[in-house]
Structure 1
């Protein structure tokens, strides 16, 4: 009986020792909360820092890719402008020929200039690989420098305008090709080289109607004015591309592989 009483007393002593912890002070709870808050905040900060670093790397990759597109554009513009200037000179010569239908060797000269300068054409297409990726993936938001993103948007707006004029010029050019099919014996192209046409004899037009020739003249002069305007737009676009490339290189400290 005495042992049972002692056991009960001992159990009470153990229970009291287990539950009789000193109460934490308020500042201890505050310290624990602060440490927990600091740990969460630091984790959030480190995660954001990692994401920001990744975004900056992607931004720079996009800028490098954009530089390559702009280089491709400027090279293509140079080639197209050379072709257009040559075509403008040839078309102008054709118009002079058509303005004097009674001159000697009119038909030969008509064939020569029409087939040489209005049988093919070169137009601008542009490279929009990077800007398409930026738009489709929401990558434009990665560009922190507002003046850079504005310049990019403005450049591709100008490029779209040039492409619209490309379609317009191509449409007018196709009209001329259709008229040539109606007016000319294109079999001469299979038999003779174009440069030999001025010296051939007995060339004739499929249709030698003055009204149709005048209509063709109107088509050609309209196409010529379109080409002149198109060439101006291309020249302006190249200047924009050069300016944008310089701006991007300076802002992102980018260099050409050859530098």
Structure 2
């Protein structure tokens, strides 16, 4: 009986010790136990990944390069297309503006060509008068023909668009063949303007001489198409004055004839430029 009781007591003690071993961690500090469990889980979850990748095959590198190259190339092409469309649009706007300017120039040139013919005819008529005896000079005819001889009308080109294009570099929007025509027109313009400047100086020389010989109020009336109410005197009485007058008329006739030729050449270039602009940009 005692042995049996002793065995049962030993079993009970062993069981109590085991239970104590199981319960002891939880009963000491539950919070620490929870923290330890979380740390263990974190250590299991946040393990270091394997950063060693397998090397790519050379075909994959080539494919990636081709894709990048294709993307860059397509972007470059798209940008060029957009830029080309914008330039074409701007080119047509500039072409229309230039066309309007040249059309205005042609109107001025036609007017100056008509005036040149009138002035050249007047020079011939006035020379015919002064080569006759002084006593038969007709004062009204003399003043009628001398009026255009002391009139200077230089050609003024409407060059706003061309000047803007030359300064901004937008002439590059046009084909070289068209730019060549534009430049030829501009070169001829310098010649035309130069001839006008020369003639203008000759006109002033003639005008200075006539201050002492005729009544400029009559000239003013005739220019304005007003009735002449002033005395039409002519005081070219001696041979020296007559010869000097003849020389200045002949000189100005030559100047006007040169300007007349330049106007016709300028008009030819203008017509060529107008035709080219209309054809290139489908303008009216």
Q: TM-score scaled to structure 1, two decimals?
A: 0.82
Match status 1:154 vs 2:194: no
Matches within 5 A, 1:1-259: 11=43, 15=47, 18-20=49-51, 22-26=53-57, 27-106=59-138, 109-114=141-146, 116-143=147-174, 145-188=175-218, 204-206=233-235, 208-254=237-283, 256=284
SS, match of residue 123 in structure 1: coil
Residue aligning to 2:29 = none
* Aligned residue pair count: 248
CA distance in 2, matches of 1:66, 1:190: 37
Identify the range of structure 1 (174-183 vs 215-224) with the bigger mean alpha-carbon deviation.
174-183
TM-score normalised over the length of structure 2: 0.75
Structure 2 residues not aligned, in runs of 5+: 1-35
CA separation of 1:135/1:222 partners in 2, compared to 1, >3 Å: closer, same or farther? Answer: same
* Aligned 8 A contact 2:129 2:137 in 1: no
Structure 1 residue 180, shift from structure 2 partner: 1.1
Name the larger-Rg structure: 2
Q: Tell me if structure 2 keeps the 8 A contact 1:69–1:127.
A: yes
CA contact (8 A) 1:90 1:117 kept: yes
